[in-house]
Amino acid sequence: MAQDLTRPDPGIVLDLIEAFRRSKVMFAAVSLGVFDALATGARSASELAPELKADEDSLARLLNACVGLQLLTRDAEGYALTPASKAYLTSDSRDRMTGYIRYSNDVGWKLWANLEGAIREGTHRWKETFGWDGPIFSNFFKTDEAKREFLMGMHGFGCITSPQVVGAFDLSRFRTLVDLGGATGHLCIAACQRYPQLQAVLFDLPDAGPLARDIIDDSNVSDRITIAAGDFFADPLPNGDLYALGRILHDWTEAKCVTLLKRIYDALPTGGALLVVEKMIFEDKTGPRWAQMQDLNMLTCTEGRERNLAEYEGLLKRVGFAEVLGCRTTVPADAVLALKR
């Protein structure tokens, strides 16, 4: 039979049908403990099955799928970690993303299953999915360990993105960076490593302090980073000539963003600046895919959204900033710099 040349290529549709299956393979392997079990060396499916309390044949099928996805390798000795899986998918790695992966599997996966409701109603899906009212994250992170693991997952993202973000603009004229909601301190660390003149203050809720202290103390710039506890919506902000908001504005309504930005503007000295770290949508909203998917993620799980540069410029100039610059990076976060004249 001759090929039907009038039929469009179905590749994109077929790929998207399968895309969620690939994600779930990684999620399930992390949840079952596959990568941790292989942290000490190569092992066979028959060795792993009793330890992981899994059916041997079914586990082998999952392991083979991980090989196909380049998350594992396989040879005569058995299955083994790749450099990426060792760095990002094992619980003992400082760069691990396992906390965010577990959150994606246990929470995000279920919220996204109700995306249609979010589109119809324009609100997050916590009530529909779990029967929870806000604040949303307090319902999920009920233990210190759950909070720590999620923060470590975000730390893994930060280690990938922060070095590029702090190099997006020349920040050498600033002397004190205050990272609001700075979590584990990855942005402070990257900034101080790049700019030897810089001192940094990590400002976050008290619960974030112990983990941040551990990570900062393990860096080579710990002597230039201090930690202060507080709520950036309510408490006085530490003094600085450069503030940063990393993945903060996309959580909140426009009204709350304006409230926070006004507090920052009022706290900055003349000549100071705000560094906003978010993945920017293109001006015509046609991409990039990471920002578009994160925009829908914000719809399902927060009050906020992702924005393009013009929308950030509108927010920032509304509270008084005189000049707003944007810079796209090759990692899952871009940079916006707003200057106070």
Active site residues: 250
107's tokens: 């929470």
Residues 6+ apart with CB under 8 A from 68: none
Q: Could you give the CA distance from residue 192 to residue 275 in angstroms, rounded to a whole number?
A: 15
Residues 6+ apart with CB under 8 A from 255: none
335's tokens: 């940079």
3-class DSSP assignment, residue 63:
helix
- Is the separation of the CB atoms in 208 and 158 below 8 Å? no
β-strands 72-75, 242-246: how paired?
unpaired
Residues shown for the chain = 341
Which residue in 61, 58, 66, 57 sits closest to 29, CA to CA? Answer: 66
Q: Could you give the CA distance from residue 136 to residue 107 in angstroms, rounded to a whole number?
A: 11
Burial class (CB in 10 A: 0-12, 13-18, 19+), 241: middle
End-to-end CA distance of the chain: 71
- Is the separation of the CB atoms in 231 and 263 below 8 Å? no
- Is the separation of the CB atoms in 76 and 69 below 8 Å? no
Ramachandran angles phi, psi of 45, nearest 5°: -65, -35
Which residue in 169, 160, 241 sits closest to 199, CA to CA? Answer: 241
β-strands 273-278, 334-339: how paired?
antiparallel
Whose structure tokens read 């202290």?
Answer: 213
